[in-house]
Structure 1
C-alpha cells in the first residue's frame, strides 16, 4: 500500500463563513472611510440629484395634465401649447444642469478618494519588510496598485452614482405612480420581490466568477513581468517557445475565466430586461382595459407607461452596477489585505527610539548570539557572535547558502533576528528608526539598482537639496567623473530602466558615488565585483579603497582577491563562522579557506589574486 496520505479538503464551517463576512465588512468600512473628507460634496450631490430627478419626472406628469385637463376637453389653443412646451423645455434644462453638476462633483470626489487610497497603498507597500515581498509577487502588487484601485474608482463614480440617483429616482417614480393610480402602482411594485430573488441567487456566482478572473489576470501580469525582466536569459537559452507555451496556457485560463464572467453578467442583466418587458406588457394590457372601460384617463395611462419605462431603468442600472459592486468588494478585500498587514520589521516606540547622527557613530558592530531563519523551523544563522571594530575592514567568504548575505540583510534590518541582538556602538538596531539605521549603513549590491532618470539624480537619489557640485566631487573621488563626462549629456544623461545603457562597472562606480554623497559610517559590499572583468574590477577596487577609508567595511566576496587585504576574513559554513584571520593566517590553517582558494585558482577566476599573492610573498 502506498505511504502517500490523501488529505481531503475540509468543508468550510459556519465559523469560517462568519469570519469571512467580518473581514469583508471590515474591508468595506475601511475603504469607505476615505470618503469622509468629501461628505459635504456628497450632500451637495444628493441635492443636485434630487432637483435633477424631480425636473425629469415632472415631464410625464406635465403631459398628463395637458392631455386630460386640456386636450381631452377640446382646449387646443396655441398659447396653451406654447406654454406647455416652454415649461417642458425649462424642466429639461433644469434636469440637464443639475445632472451635469452632480456628475462632475461625483467624479471629482471619486478621483480624489482613489488618489488618496493609491498613495496610502503605495506608501504602505514601501514600508513593508523583505519577508512581505518574499510572499508577494511584484506582478500581484502592480495589479493591486493599478487595477484594483481603478475598480474602486468605478465604485465611487458609477456604483455610488447609481445608488444615489437611481435609488432616488425609483422612490420618486413609485410616489408618482401611486399618485396617478393605486391599483396599477401595486401591480408594478409586485415585481420587486422577483427582482430581489434573482439578485440573491446570482450574487455568490457573480462574485466567484469575478474573483477567479481577477486571480488569473494577476497571474498573467506576474508571468509577463517575470519574462520581461528575464528576457536576456530567455533569448540566451532559446526559451521563447517554452515561455510562449506557458503564456498561452496562462492567457487561455484568463480568457476562459473572463468569458465565464461575461456570460454570467449577460444572463443576469437580460433576466431583468425580461422582467421589465413583462411588467410593461402587463401594465399596457390592464391600463388599456381601464381606458376602454372609461375608468382610467388617457393622460394617466400615458404618464403611467412613461413611469413604467423609467421604473425599470433605475432597477436595471442598479442591478447592472451589482456586477461592479461585486468586483469592488473583491478589490477592496485584496487592498485591505495589504493595508491591514503590519510590517514584519516595526519601527521602535517613539519614547524608546534612539536617534543617532552620522557624526555620533564610530562604527562598531556586535552580533550577540544571533540566530535566524526565514522559516522559524529552518534556521540559517546559528548562535552567531561577532564583533567588528570601528574602522575595521572584514571580508566574508563561503560557499553558496553559507549565510553570508543573510548576515548583511540582518544588519540592514531587512529582517529581524529570531534570537539575540545586533548592536551598532552598543545600541540595538531595533531601537533605531529605520531612517537612522539606513543613513548609518550604506549598501552596495552585486547589481546596483538605477532608476529611470538622469545620472545626477541617480547619484543623489532625486534629492534636490544635494548640490550638483557635491555630486561631481563624489564622482571625482571614486573615479567616475571622466566616465560620466564622456557620455552625450554628461551628468544630465538620461538612463533607461536599471541603467541598461551602462556597463556593470559603470553602474558600480555610480553606486560608490552615492556612498560618498550620503556618507554612511558603515559600508557593506555584497558581491559588488562578482560580475566584473579584471580591468573594471581594478577600477572598482580603487574606488572601494577610497570609499572605505575611515569607515567600518564589510565585504562579501565572490572573488577572494576582493578581500585579500582585509583586516580580517571570516569563513562561513552552514550559518556559522568556522575560520577567522588574515589571508596569510587562513592559508596556514590549510582548512576551508585554502580549499576555496584552490578551487578558485583551478576555475581560473583568480588571476589578480595570484599576482597579488606573488607580490606579497616577494
Structure 2
C-alpha cells in the first residue's frame, strides 16, 4: 500500500508544468491504496451483492410468469402457481441473508480502513516539526482527525455500498429489460444520455458547494478551539460579546453554505423524480397500446414497469449520496495534504548511535545562525560552550532569543548555519528519540494529561514501575501532597491538571525528570508563574533534580539563576555578557540593569503579599 502511495506522490510531482490531475482521481487512487489489503473481503462483498441483486430482480420476472402462463393463459395449474410463490419467498430470504452478509463484510473492511487512516494521521501529526504547528491552527488539525475521517467513514458506510449495489443493479435491470422487450429497452436506453447531461451539469457546481461548506466548518471549529484554549483571557478582558460576534459571522457563513448545499441537492434529486415519472407514463402509453394490440403480453408490461421503478431507485440512491461522495473526496484530499507534509526535522538515514550511559552532557553551539522563515535571523554566528555538569543561567529581555536557543538544542528547529554538538556529536546526526532522552525539558507551563498521577509522571510508559515513580516523587518533595489526595497516586487529573496549583504541577514535571533521567536538563522559565513561597519550594526540588546533570535555566526572575556556575546574558540574539552573578554585578553592565529592575519587581510583589496577608483576618471575620 505504501508503495502505491509513493507512486501516486511521484506521479503527482513528476512534471510541475503539467496541469494537476483531477482531485476525484487522486482521492480514489488514495482510497484504492487502502482498500487493496482488504481485497478478499471486498471480493466477498461483490459476490454477496450479485447474489442479493439476482434474488431481488428475479422476483418481478416470477410475477410475469405467473400472470402470463397461469392467470392470463387460463391454466388451472395451481401447483405451479404455488411453486412460484415458494420460489418467490425463497428469493426474498436469500436476498435478506446475502444483503446482511454484504453489509457486515463491508462494514468490517471499511471500519478497519478508517481506523487505520485515523491512526496513521494522528501518528503523522505527532511527527511533524514545530514549524508546521506554528502555521497550522490546532482546530484545523482537530477537524482532520475527527470530521474528515468521519467523512471517509461515511464513504465506506454509505457511498461505496450504494455505488456497488446500485451500480450493479442498474446493469442487471438493463439486461432484464432487453431480455423482456428489446424495443422498450431501447426507448429506456435514451434516458442514459439525459441522466449523464444532468449529472455533468451539476457536478462542478456541487463540488464547489461542498468544498465551501467543509472549509467554513473547519474555520468554525478552529475558532471554537482557539476560544476554548484562551477562555480565561476572554473572561478576564470581558471579550465574550466581541468573540460571540465573530462566532456569529463564521456560523452564519457555514449556515449559508449548508443552505446552498441543500438547495442544490433538492434540485438535483427532483430532476430525477420528474424524469422517472415521465418515463413511467411514456412506457405505460407505449406498452399499453402494444398490450391492447396483442403484440405484448400484459405480464411483460407489468414486469417492465416494475423494473423501470427499480431502475430509478438506484439512480436516486446514488444521487442522494452525491453530497457524501463530494464530502468524502474533499476530506480525503484534506487528509492527504497533511499526510503528504514531510517534517522539516527528520533523522539521518544512518544516524549515530551513542549509549545513553556514556553521555557526559558537554554542549557546544558553534557559530550558529537561525531565523524563523523569512524573518531576520534571531542568531548570527552565536558561539556558546557549556561544560559537562555545569549549571548555566540564560537571561535577557523578551525577544533576546532565550527560548529559541533551547528550541534549537531540543531540535524543534534546525540551525541554518553552524552546528550544535553534544559530547562532540552533531545533534542532527542523532536519532530524535535518543536526543530527547538525553535532553529533558521542563517548561513554564508543564502539561499534564487526563489520567492518573502515576501515569502522568511516567508518561504512560508501562515499563517504568510504580515504585520508580513513587521514589521520584519522594525525591523532589511531591510525595506528601500526593498522599494527601483521596486516591493518592491513582488520583485522576483533569485535562492540563486543572485541579492542581502551578507549583504542584511543576513538582510533578520534576518527578518526570527523575524518572526519565536525562543527562541535560533544560528549564524554560520553570518558576515564572510561581509566588515567592512556592518558588523557594521549587528551587529546593530544582537543586535535587539538577545534581549531576548539565543544567540550562532560562529565567525571567534572576533569583532563579543567581547560584548558577555561569550566567549568559543575551541581547538581540548575541551574548553581551557572561560570568557569575557577583562578577556581572561588578561590571555594572546590562545584567546589573536587569538585576535592579528585577529587585524592584520583587519589592512590589513582597508588598502585594503583605497586603494580602494583612487582609486575611478581616476576610475570615467577615465570613
TM-based fold match above 0.5: yes
Confirm or deny: 8 A CA contact 1:367 1:387 kept in the other structure.
yes
Query: What corresponds to 2:549 in structure 1?
Result: 551
Question: 2:30 and 2:106 mapped to 1: Cα distance?
Answer: 20
The equivalent residue for 1:511 is: 509
Question: What's 2:193 paired with?
Answer: 193
Q: Distance in 2 between matches of 1:19 and 1:340?
A: 19
SS at match of 1:579: strand
What residue is the counterpart of 2:118 in the other structure? 118
Residue matched to 1:590: 588
Q: Equivalents in 1 of 2:517, 2:577: separation in Å?
A: 31
Tell me which residue corresponds to 2:7.
none
Check 1:306–1:577 CA distance in 2 against 1; reply closer, same or farther (3 A cut).
Answer: same
CA apart distance, 1:607: 7.4
- Residue correspondence of structure 1 range 106-185 to structure 2 within 5 A: 106-185=106-185
Q: Comparing 265-274 with 337-346, which one deviates more in the overlay?
A: 265-274
SS in 1 for 2:464: coil
- Aligned twin of 2:296: 296
Bigger shift: 306-315 or 369-378?
Answer: 369-378
Per-residue deviation at 1:282?
1.0
Query: For the residues of structure 2 that align with 1:18 and 1:605, how far apart are their CA atoms?
Result: 68
Other-structure match for 1:284: 284
**Residue 341 of structure 2 aligns with which residue?**
341
User: Could you report, residue by residue, the CA deviation over 1:363-383 in whole angstroms, capped at 9, with x for unpaired residues?
Assistant: 000111111111144211211
Q: CA deviation at 1:80?
A: 3.0
Secondary structure of 1:555 counterpart: strand
**How far does residue 544 in structure 1 lie from its aligned partner after superposition?**
0.6
1:567 is the counterpart of 2:553: no
Residue 408 of structure 1, aligned match among 403, 406, 409: 406
Q: Does 1:263 align with 2:263?
A: yes
Structure 1 distance, partners of 2:397, 2:271, is: 66
Cα separation, partners in 2 of 1:605 and 1:199, compared to 1, 3 Å: farther
Q: Which runs of 5+ in 2 are unaligned?
A: 1-14, 607-623
Q: Does 1:436 align with 2:441?
A: no
| Structure 1, unaligned runs of 5 or more | 1-14, 609-618
Q: Give the secondary structure class of the aligned counterpart of 1:348.
A: coil
Contact 1:559 1:605 in 2 (8 A): no
Give a deviation string over 1:272-313, Cα, whole Å, max 9, x none.
Answer: 111111111111111111111111110000000000001111
Give the equivalent residue in structure 2 for 1:445: 443
Aligned residue number for residue 489 of structure 1: 487
- Match of 1:29? 29
3-state DSSP of counterpart to 1:21 = coil
Q: Shift in Å at residue 356 of structure 1?
A: 2.2
1:360 corresponds to which of 354, 358, 381: 358
Seen in structure 2, the aligned counterparts of structure 1 residues 25 and 387 have a Cα distance that, compared at 3 Å, is farther
CA gap of 1:605–1:103, structure 2 versus 1, over 3 A, is: farther
The aligned counterpart of 1:5 is none
After superposition, residues 36-55 of structure 1 pair within 5 angstroms as 36-55=36-55
Provide the secondary structure at the position in 1 that maps to 2:67. helix
1:11 aligned partner? none
Shift of 1:76: 4.2
Q: Could you list the per-position Cα deviations for residues 416-455 of structure 1 after superposition, in whole angstroms to 9, with x for gaps in the alignment? A: 1111111100000011111000000000000000000000
Q: 1:103 to 1:275 in 2, by over 3 A?
A: same
Q: Aligned equivalents of 2:69 and 2:316: distance in 1? A: 33
Displacement of 1:19: 3.6
CA separation in 2, counterparts of 1:574 and 1:28?
51
Q: Is the 8 A contact 1:28 1:333 kept in 2?
A: no
- Residue 614 of structure 1 corresponds to none
Aligned residue among 528, 531, 540 for 1:530: 528
Deviation at 1:25, TM superposition (A): 3.5
Match of 2:456 in 1: 458
Greater mean alpha carbon deviation, residues 471-480 or residues 268-277 = 268-277
Work out the CA distance in 1 between the residues paired with 2:57 and 2:571: 81
- 1:467 is aligned to 465
In the aligned structure 2, how far is the partner of 1:364 from the partner of 1:194?
A: 76
Q: Residues 79, 165 of structure 1: CA spacing in aligned structure 2 closer, same or farther, 3 A cutoff?
A: same
Q: Counterpart of 1:423 in 2: which secondary structure?
A: strand
Moved more, 596-605 or 418-427: 596-605
Q: Residue 219 and residue 269 in structure 1: after superposition, are their counterparts in 2 closer, same or farther (change >3 A)?
A: same
SS at match of 1:604: helix
Alignment CA distance shift 1:605-1:46 (3 Å)? farther
The TM-score normalised by the length of structure 2 is 0.93
Structure 2 counterpart SS, 1:219: helix
Is the 1:206–1:261 Cα contact (8 Å) retained in structure 2?
Answer: yes
**Aligned-residue RMSD, C-alpha:** 1.5
Assess if the C-alpha contact under 8 Å between 1:348 and 1:430 holds in 2.
yes
Distance 1:201 1:233, change over 3 A: same
Q: Provide the aligned length of Structure 1 versus Structure 2.
A: 592
Match of 1:324? 324
Distance 1:169 1:230, change over 3 A: same
The structure-2 alpha-carbon separation of the partners of 1:394 and 1:377, relative to structure 1 and needing over 3 Å to count, comes to: same
- 1:499-554 deviations in Å (ceiling 9; x for gaps): 00000000000000000000000000000000000010001000110010110000
Contact 1:121 1:339 in 2 (8 A): yes
Distance of 2:89 and 2:281 partners within structure 1: 30
Q: Is the 8 A contact 1:521 1:551 kept in 2?
A: yes
Give SS of 1:73's match: coil
**Contact 1:505/1:540 (<8 A) preserved:** yes
Decide whether the 8 Å contact of 2:70 with 2:81 is kept in 1: no
Q: 1:8 corresponds to which residue? A: none
Runs of 4+ in 1 over 4 A off after TM superposition: 15-18, 605-608
